Structure 1
Amino acid sequence: MRESEEPGQALKKTLGPWSLTALGIGAVIGSGIFTVIGTAMAGQHFDEPSIANTPLIHWLVYHSGLPGRPGAGPALAISLVFVAIVCAFTGLCYAELSSMIPIAGSSYTYTYVTMGELVAWIIGWDLILEYAFSNMSVSVGFAAHVLDLLDWFGVHPSLRWISPAYLPTGLQDMAGNNLYDPGWHFGFNVPAFLIVMILTVILVRGIRESARTNNILVLVKMIAILAFIFAAATFVKPHNWHPFMPNGWSGVLTGGSIIFFTYIGFDSVSTAAEECKNAQRDMPIGILATLAACTVLYGGVAIVLSGIIPWQSVMGDAAPVVNSLKRLTISTGSPLLHWVRLVVLIGAMLGMISSILVFQLGQARVWFAMSRDRLLPRVFGVLHPQFRTPAFATWVAGFVVGIPAGLLDIGTVSNLSNIGTLFAFVLVSIGVLVLRHREPNRQRGFRAPFGPLFPVLSIVFCILLMMGLEVLTWMTFFIWLAVGLVIYFLYSRHRSEFARAR
C-alpha cells in the first residue's frame, strides 16, 4: 500500500456515480443472460431420481433425491431480483475492503491481507475454478450461437462437431426428434474450443481492449437485449405464465443459484474505489444503480422469454433467447423477427467474446499473482520475452478452459462457476467482519452501513444460494478444494515468501 501511494503510483480520483454505473453495467451486461437463462428457467431432468442431481437444500430437508434440478419457470424474474439484492450486500462489502486495500482489488488480495496465506491460497484456488468454469459456460453458449448464426444463413453442419460430448438430458432437433441419448457420445464442441484458443493467442500477444471498444460492445449488447424485449413482447401469450411458480420457492431458489452467473462482474465497480471522487457517496450509488438497471433489463428478458414459449422447452438450451426467436419466426412468419434474431445473435456473440477475453486475462493474472507470491511454481510467472505477458499461464489457462468446453454441457459447467463465485463472496464478507474487529479505527474510504448487518446478510444469502446447487456440484467443489489443500501443504507452504519465517 505504501508503494501504491507514492507520487508516481497514486491513481487519479476522477470517477463519479455516473462513471461507476456505466462501468458496472458494462461488466454485468454480458453473455450470461443469453446462455444460462434456459437452464435456470427450465432446470434439468434425468430419467431416475438421484441424490447427486438434487439441490443440497432439498436433500437436507427431505432426505430424498429428485430426478434433476427444478427450474424457476416464469418466476425467474423473482430469482433475478433476489440475486440482485444479495449482490448489493456483497458489493458493499467489496467496496469497504477495496477502499482500505487498493491493491489490484480482488478477493485473493483481500483475503491475503485479512486472513493470511492459507485462506488466500484457498480463495486463489477457488478463483481458478470460478474463472475457468465461467468461461467454459460462455464458450459453450458461444458455440450454440455460432450454430444459430450458421442456421440463419442456411448452413447446417454435423451436430457431432458442434455439440458437447456429454449430454445429461440428450439432444433433440427443432421438431423434437431424439438425436442423442443422455450420457457420453462421440463428438466435440469445436467452436467452443476454437474461440478460447483464438483469444488465448490474442492475450499472449498482449492486445488490450480500449475504453472506446468496451463502450461500443456494451452499447451493442444493450441494443440486442432491448431489441429482443420490444420485438418479442407483442407475441407474448399470457397462458405461458401459468402457473407462475411451477416449482414453488424451491424452484425460485435453485433458479437464482444458476442465474447468479449473469451478475458475475458487478464487483468491478468496487475495485475502482481508489479512483472515486467521493467513495463514501459514489460507491453505493454506483453498485446499487448498476444492479437496478441490469435487473430491469434481465427481468424483462425473463418475462418476455417465458411468455412467448413454454418455459419447459428451453431445458438444456445454451442459446434460449435466439432459439426462441427462431421458433417464433417459423410459427408467425414475421420478417421483423427474422432480422431481430440476427441483431440479438450479433450482440450476444460480441458480448461473449469480450467476456471470455476479460475472464481469461483475469484467470492468467490470478495464476501469475500466486506464482509471484511463490504459492505456484515460478513458471506461471514467466513473462514472454517479446510481449511481456504471462505467456505460460495464459496458454495453460486456454487449454484448461478450451478442452472441457468441448466436452461438457452448459448446465454442468455453470453450476461449478456459481459455487466458486459465491464461496469467494462469503470469504470477502467474512474479511470485512475480521478487519472491523481487528482494526476498528483504521481509516476507511467507504464503510458498509448498518454495522455488521450487511456483511452478515451477504454471508447468509450467499450460503443459501449455494445450497440451491446440486449435491454433485458440492461434492466436486469439495474435491477441488481438497486437491488444492494437498498442493498447498506439500508444495506451496514450503516455498512461499513466508516459508523462511516459519
Structure 2
Amino acid sequence: MAELNPQGTPLENLVDEPAPAGATGRYQQELARSLTMRENILITLSSVTPASSVFIIVPAILLGVGGASVLTLVLAAIAAVFVGVCYAELSATYPVTGGEYTWAARLLGRPLGFATFLLTLVSGILIISVIALGTGDYLGAAWSGLSGSWVGVGVIVVTTVVSILDIRTNAWVTGIFLATELLALVVLTLLGFLHPQRGLDSFFSAQVAGPDGLHGVGVAAVVALLPVALFAFNGYGAAVYYVEETKDANRTIGRVILMSLVVTAVVEIVPLAAVVIGAPSMSALLGSDAPMNYFLVARGGQALNVVISVGIALAIVNAVIAIIIQIARLVYASARDRSWPGPVDDVLGKVHPRYRSPANATLLVGGLSVLAAVFIPLSWLITATGASVAVVYLVVGACALRLRRPGVASSRGYRMPLWPLPPLLLIAGMLYVCVQVAKDTPSQLAISLGTMALGLVYYLGYIHPRRGERWTLPDPVEEEIEGSRH
C-alpha cells in the first residue's frame, strides 16, 4: 500500500516533500472565524452580483434567442448544479481559504496547483478592473460627469480600504448593497408580471431581430449560448474563500455553496421571465442595444431607469468589494503556503491585528487592480478573462473526479449524489466550451493557458528546487466546534 501524507493522499501523487522543521501538520487559525452561514452567503452572492448579470450578461442571451433566453438560463442552472456539487464536496473535503488551487495541488499535483493559482489570481485582478470600469456607465445615467474611467479607479481605491475591515463588517456592508440590487430586480419583475403581453409559451420561442422583423432561430443557437448563461451564475463557489472565517464550516460550507447557487438562479431567471412576458413589443425589445433599459423606460419611465441604473452601479461596487476580499485571501493563502521569497511571504501572510484580515494582501490586490484599470485597454481586459472561468471549472471537475479514491481524505460535511457523474459531465461540458472558444476567439484560451504555463515555469524554477520548505500544504485548520453552531 502506498505511503500516505497527512491529507491521506499517496505521496507519489504530490511529489515527495518532507515537512520543514517545526511544522505542525496543520494551518493555524489566524483569520477571524466569526461569519455565520448566512453572512457567508451574503458575501458570496455579492461576488455573483446577480443584478449586474441581469443587466450586463443576460441581455446578450436575450438578443441571441429572444424569449427562449429563459429556457437557456433554466438549462444553464441545471448544468450549474453539476459545478456546484463539485465545489461543495471539494470545499467540505479541503476547507482551505485558497480555494481551487489548494484542491488542484493536492489532487492533481503541485505543478498544476500553482498554475491554477496564477490563473485564478490574474483573472481575479483583471475581473476587478473590468467590472469597476463599468461603474461609470451606470452612474453616468444620473450624472454625466460620473461616466469616465477614473470613476472605476476611484471605486477600486475606496473598496480596497473597505475590504481591509473585519470580515463580519464586510458581510453586512455587502449585504446592504445586495439588498439594494435585489430591490432593483424586484422592480423589474413587478413591472413585467403586472403588464403581461404574452404567455409562458414565449419561453420556447427562439427569435432574433432582423431588418424586416423577428426571425426564428434553431436549437443550435440556444446551445451555443449555454456557456454564456452558465457564466452569468458564476461566483457561488467563492464561498470557499471565506471557509476559514465561517463558523462550523466543515458541516455547512457545502450548503452555503448550493444555497448561493439556488438564490442566484432564481433572482436572475425570474426577472428575465418578467421582461419577456411584459415587454410592450418583442420586436422593440430585441431590436434595442440595451433591452433591459428599453423595458424600464417603456414600463416605468426615464426617471425609474435612472434610479435603477444607479442601483446597478451600487451592485457593481458591491461586487468589487466581494471580489477584492476573495482574491486577497487567495494571495494570503499563497503566502502562507510559502510560494514567494521569504520577505514577501512574511508581508503578504500577515493578518491585521485588529481586523484579523489579510490587510497587506488586500492592498496588493487593490494596487494591482488599479494599475490594470489605468494601463490595460478595456477590450484587452475582457479578452484576457474570457476563457478563465471555463478553464478553472475544468480543473475543478478533474479534482472532483479524483475524490473518493482509497486513502484520500473524505468530505467533512457534504457528499455529492451520483458521483462520478457530475464531474464527468462538468469536464465534458467545459471541454466543449474550450473548443468553441478556441474556434471563435482563440486569443482568450491562449491567454488563459499561457498564464498557467507561466505558473508552471515559476513552480518548477523556484518552488520545486526548495521542496521541503516551500509548499508543504498542511492539513486544513482544526476547527473548534464548541459554541460555534448558530
Q: TM-score scaled to structure 1, two decimals?
A: 0.70
Structure 2 match to 1:363: 327
| Closer/same/farther in 2, CA of residues 456 and 348 from structure 1, 3 Å limit | same
Q: 1:354-398 CA deviation, whole Å, 9 max, x = no partner?
A: 210121122222223223323234426514988776555434423
Structure 2 match to 1:481: 452
Secondary structure class of the residue paired with 1:36: helix
Structure 1 match to 2:153: 193
Structure 2 match to 1:447: 415
Contact 1:196–1:398 at 8 Å: present in 2 too?
Answer: yes
Partners of 2:370 and 2:253 in 1: how far apart? 36
Partners of 1:198 and 1:19 in 2: how far apart? 22
Partners of 1:283 and 1:487 in 2: how far apart? 32
Partners of 1:393 and 1:442 in 2: how far apart? 31
Secondary structure class of the residue paired with 1:445: coil
Q: CA deviation at 1:458?
A: 1.9
Contact 2:62–2:69 at 8 Å: present in 1 too?
Answer: yes
Partners of 1:247 and 1:489 in 2: how far apart? 49
Q: CA deviation at 1:193?
A: 2.0
Q: 1:150-188 CA deviation, whole Å, 9 max, x = no partner?
A: 1xxxxx3497xx2xxxxxxxxxxxxxxxxxxxxxxxxxx
Q: Which 10-residue stretch deviates more, 361-370 or 209-218?
A: 209-218
Partners of 2:35 and 2:154 in 1: how far apart? 40
Contact 2:46–2:318 at 8 Å: present in 1 too?
Answer: no
Structure 1 match to 2:424: 456
Partners of 1:9 and 1:38 in 2: how far apart? 39
Query: What amino acid is the match of 1:296?
Result: V
Q: 1:401-422 CA deviation, whole Å, 9 max, x = no partner?
A: 2344357777764564452223
Partners of 2:340 and 2:70 in 1: how far apart? 42
Equivalent residue in structure 2 for 1:95, among 71, 76, 88: 88
Q: CA deviation at 1:341?
A: 2.3
Query: What amino acid is the match of 1:451?
Result: W
Contact 1:380–1:392 at 8 Å: present in 2 too?
Answer: no
Query: What amino acid is the match of 1:340?
Result: L
Query: What amino acid is the match of 1:255?
Result: L
> How many equivalent pairs are there?
425
| Closer/same/farther in 2, CA of residues 453 and 107 from structure 1, 3 Å limit | same
The correspondence of residues 384-403 of structure 1 with structure 2, limited to 5 A, is: 393-403=361-371
Equivalent residue in structure 1 for 2:269, among 299, 304, 324: 299
Query: What amino acid is the match of 2:427?
Result: I
Contact 1:368–1:381 at 8 Å: present in 2 too?
Answer: no
The correspondence of residues 126-141 of structure 1 with structure 2, limited to 5 A, is: 126-141=119-134
| Closer/same/farther in 2, CA of residues 103 and 285 from structure 1, 3 Å limit | closer
Secondary structure class of the residue paired with 1:494: helix
The correspondence of residues 43-82 of structure 1 with structure 2, limited to 5 A, is: 71-82=64-75
Structure 1 match to 2:337: 373
Structure 2 match to 1:114: 107
Equivalent residue in structure 1 for 2:55, among 22, 29, 34: 34
Partners of 2:452 and 2:134 in 1: how far apart? 27
Query: What amino acid is the match of 2:100?
Result: S
Contact 2:239–2:257 at 8 Å: present in 1 too?
Answer: yes
Equivalent residue in structure 2 for 1:493, among 459, 464, 473: 464
Structure 2 match to 1:174: none
Partners of 1:422 and 1:441 in 2: how far apart? 26
Partners of 1:391 and 1:204 in 2: how far apart? 5
State, as a whole percentage, how many aligned pairs show the same letter. Answer: 20
Structure 2 match to 1:62: none
Contact 2:101–2:113 at 8 Å: present in 1 too?
Answer: yes
| Closer/same/farther in 2, CA of residues 384 and 93 from structure 1, 3 Å limit | closer
Query: What amino acid is the match of 1:106?
Result: G
Q: CA deviation at 1:225?
A: 0.5
Query: What amino acid is the match of 1:94?
Result: Y
| Closer/same/farther in 2, CA of residues 365 and 194 from structure 1, 3 Å limit | same
Partners of 1:449 and 1:26 in 2: how far apart? 28
Query: What amino acid is the match of 1:252?
Result: V
Query: What amino acid is the match of 1:294?
Result: T
Q: CA deviation at 1:312?
A: 4.9
Contact 2:127–2:385 at 8 Å: present in 1 too?
Answer: yes
Contact 1:231–1:340 at 8 Å: present in 2 too?
Answer: no
Contact 2:49–2:319 at 8 Å: present in 1 too?
Answer: no
Q: Which 10-residue stretch deviates more, 451-460 or 75-84?
A: 75-84
Secondary structure class of the residue paired with 1:313: coil
Kindly report the root-mean-square deviation, in angstroms, between the aligned alpha carbons of the 2 structures. Answer: 4.2
Unaligned runs of 5+ in 2: 1-6, 8-23, 209-215, 473-486
Query: What amino acid is the match of 1:398?
Result: G
Equivalent residue in structure 1 for 2:207, among 232, 240, 244: 244
Contact 1:253–1:468 at 8 Å: present in 2 too?
Answer: no
Secondary structure class of the residue paired with 1:149: coil
The correspondence of residues 220-299 of structure 1 with structure 2, limited to 5 A, is: 220-232=180-192, 243-244=206-207, 248-268=218-238, 275=247, 279=251, 287-299=257-269
Partners of 1:248 and 1:381 in 2: how far apart? 57
- Whether 1:85 and 2:50 are equivalent positions in the alignment is no
Contact 1:374–1:495 at 8 Å: present in 2 too?
Answer: no
Q: Which 10-residue stretch deviates more, 129-138 or 237-246?
A: 237-246
